[in-house]
Amino acid sequence: MGYANTAREVRKILRDEEILIDNRVIKNPKFPVGVMDIINIKSKNEYFILFINSNNKYQLKKINNEESKLKLCKIINKKTLKKRITQLNLYDGRNVLVEKDNYKPGDTIILDLKNNKINSHLKLEKNAFVYIIGGKYIGSIGRVENITERKGLQVAKILIKIGEKNIETLKEYAFVVDKDTLKV
């Protein structure tokens, strides 16, 4: 990004609380940053989203202030707690409690980073746009054609149309996104 040339400069920037990741001040230079994390550089008033491109390289996309307040989070699991409250376990380690159980693993929620509340819900279903986060077609964006659920030890597969070609990959690699989320 060109804001620091040495590790010493990076430590100074972090110590001065210039970097926010997902709306939290980060001071540790070894803090892990993951796919779909929102990075804010306070002094420059710049916002970025991190994703993986088709060459399996991390890439930053510049976004505006309004987009930086929301984060896409994939649901990887859910549990029912006492008093019928459902806990959604998200791919980045967060947990969100919800009253109504309208969510399934594989779906994506749009989380408001300021108050940790769900803003909207994107379902993993036919014709949904997905971003591939693993496997041979990593970094590709396509439309879901078919989802094949398997029983037992076999893994669920998903058929995705990318451009004119259809590909099949594991369902766990599909991350539901808005149509224009990762356009560069």
Give the whole-angstrom CA distance, residue 83 versus residue 96. 15
Mean pLDDT of successive 10-residue stretches along the chain, which has 184 residues: 88 93 92 92 92 89 91 93 91 90 91 90 92 90 90 87 91 87 57
Q: Please tell me the predicted confidence (pLDDT) of residue 116.
A: 86
Domains (range + CATH), the chain? 7-65 (3.10.290.10), 69-122 (2.40.50.740), 129-176 (2.30.30)
Count Cβ atoms within 10 A of the Cβ of residue 97 and give its class: 0-12 exposed, 13-18 middle, 19 or more buried.
exposed
Give the whole-angstrom CA distance, residue 3 versus residue 13. 9
Q: Please tell me the predicted confidence (pLDDT) of residue 184.
A: 47
Q: Please tell me the predicted confidence (pLDDT) of residue 108.
A: 94
Question: Contact 116/110 with Cβ under 8 angstroms?
Answer: no
Give the whole-angstrom CA distance, residue 128 versus residue 148. 15
pTM for this predicted structure: 0.86
Give the whole-angstrom CA distance, residue 76 versus residue 103. 11
